[in-house]
Structure 1
Amino acid sequence: MQTFISPIGFNTTSVTRSLLEHGIDSEDTVQLIRPATETNDNRATEAVEDVKRLLQEIEPKIVVHTESIPHNDFEDAVMTCSNLLRTADGEVVVSLSGGARDVLLPLTVATMAHEAAITTTLGYSDIDGQVREFGLPSVSTMPSKGALETLRVVADANSSVTLPELSDNLEAVKSTITRHVSSLEDAGYVTSWIKERNKHVSITLSGRLCIAVV
């Protein structure tokens, strides 16, 4: 079972393409989010109905809900999106495409905050019309001073660096470097692999963002 969460505006393409390419099942739930403030323009309501009709033609039992997000209080909007993500059933799939910016930005912030609970994040390209899956960065854990120094050295490497190279560069014993790398890997800031009996380490997007914010 999946819960698919997506903003929706006047154009349904980003929603329907993401849903159909990712795949839906009769037990899934689709949560469409839109600004709470209504206008006299009926296109938003018509877009929701169009999505419902299309999905129920494919899977008659699929459940489609609409959630209104407050647009004039950013913190309230983020927390409303956070609650949707926190209470979603099954695997959580989020589409960060389409809809009003008043909804998309709070949803993006909430999605990053709940990164560990999100199964899949999708993005629809306005440039080439493709739906792509991407991983979310996480910077919720700040490394220790020593681990941060290790992370900076890894970041300076062209592609990857070995544990002996880190030890030489930082003038630290291998056991200390191993401990730093282990904590950084647990936080998602680096990735490592064994090649020719040496452990190689490279930085992730989360690691680059961590350096950028400290």
Structure 2
Amino acid sequence: MRTYISTIGYHSTRVMRPILNNGIDADDTVVLLRPLEDEKEQSKDAIQDVRQTVRELGPDTTVVTEAIDHDSFETAVLECVDVIEAANGQVILNFDGGPREVFLPFTVAAISRPNLIDQVFQFRDTDQKVRELSLPNLMDRVPEVADETLQAVGELDEEATLPSIAESTGKARSTVGRHLDKLEEANLVRTQKAKKTREVRLTLGGRLRLQ
């Protein structure tokens, strides 16, 4: 089971491309976010196009629209959070543009709930391609015991390995290894085995924490 959540403007193809790339099954749901009281014919046509295309791909697939109250930015963000939290199964977000009144609150909502999201896609205006994104995790706290290790990863940059971090911080390799496990769990670093060592790189979330 998958739930696709997408902003929608006047172009249904921007919504459908990630769905077509990933596939759709009978028990999947497509949620379209639109501004409250949006009565523009172009918007209605785009939504109808999505409904028709999805119906052709999977007759039992559900397509729902969520009207987001955008008079208050705070309200719009919280309503988008509610949509994400209510999603079932694998949660896939699509940033395809659409009205800014919904797009920005949806973006903030997504960044505030990274642990509920499985995949994120963006339809690019420049080349008309769909790209998968990795949202930074800005919500989880950096484990206090691992803060010095995170700082060392940033300072060592591409030279960061478990041994080099241990040498830089003066900590035992076993201790650094535990810190890296915590930082990776918080999506602040990524590690990989390379020969007999463990290479470490900051994620976008990790870089933002160190700015």
Query: Is the 8 Å Cα contact of residues 30 and 64 (structure 1) preserved in structure 2?
Result: yes
The match for 1:71 is: 70
Distance 1:116 1:45 in 2: 32
Aligned to 1:178: 177
Match of 1:81 in 2: 80
Give the counterpart letter for 1:93 in structure 2.
I
Is there any run of 5+ residues in structure 1 with no aligned partner, and where?
none
1:39-61 per-position Cα deviation (integer Å, ceiling 9, x unaligned): 4x321112111211122122222
Q: Are residues 206 and 7 of structure 1, via their aligned partners in 2, closer, same or farther at CA, if it must alter by over 3 Å?
A: same
Whole-angstrom distance in 1 between the partners of 2:21 and 2:172: 50
Distance 1:171 1:98, change over 3 A: same
TM-score computed with the length of structure 2 as normaliser = 0.91
Partner residue, 1:94:
93
The letter for the 1-side match of 2:7 is P
Q: Deviations over 1:71-103 (max 9, x none)?
A: 111111111111111111211111012211111
Greater CA deviation, 101-110 or 198-207? Answer: 198-207
Contact 1:15/1:98 (CA < 8 Å) preserved in 2?
no
Q: Is the 8 A contact 2:92 2:118 kept in 1?
A: yes
Q: For the structure 1 residues 58 and 141, does the alpha-carbon distance in structure 2 shift closer, same or farther, using more than 3 Å as the test? A: closer
**Identical columns (%):** 36
Q: Could you say which residue in structure 1 is the equivalent of 2:111?
A: 112
- Structure 1 distance, partners of 2:72, 2:128, is 32
Q: Which residue of 1 aligns with 2:56?
A: 57
SS at match of 2:199: strand
Task: Report the Cα distance in structure 1 between the residues aligned to 2:174 and 2:59, rounded to whole angstroms.
Answer: 58
1:35 aligns with 2:35: yes
Residue 140 of structure 1 aligns with which residue? 139
Give the Cα separation in 2 of the matches to 1:165 and 1:203: 15
Do 2:143 and 2:182's aligned partners in 1 also have CA atoms closer than 8 Å? Answer: no
Paired positions, count: 211
Q: Which moved more, 1:54-63 or 1:191-200?
A: 191-200
Q: State the shift of 1:5 in Å.
A: 0.7
Greater mean alpha carbon deviation, residues 108-117 or residues 170-179: 170-179
CA–CA distance in structure 2, aligned partners of residues 159 and 19 of structure 1: 36
Q: Larger deviation: 21-30 or 149-158? A: 149-158
CA distance in structure 1 between the aligned counterparts of 2:23 and 2:143, rounded to whole angstroms? 42
SS at match of 1:154: helix
Change (3 A) 1:156 1:45: same
2:10 corresponds in structure 1 to: 10
RMSD: 1.8
Deviates more, 1:9-18 or 1:142-151: 142-151
**Structure 2: distance between partners of 1:157 and 1:97:** 37
Number of the residue aligned with 2:21: 21
Distance 1:173 1:60, change over 3 A: closer
Which sections of structure 2, spanning at least 5 residues, go unmatched? none
- 1:143-178 C-alpha deviation (Å, 9 max, x unpaired): 245522321221233424222221222233334433
Helix, strand or coil at the partner of 2:158:
coil
1:118-164 deviations in Å (ceiling 9; x for gaps): 12111111111111222221122222455223212212334242222
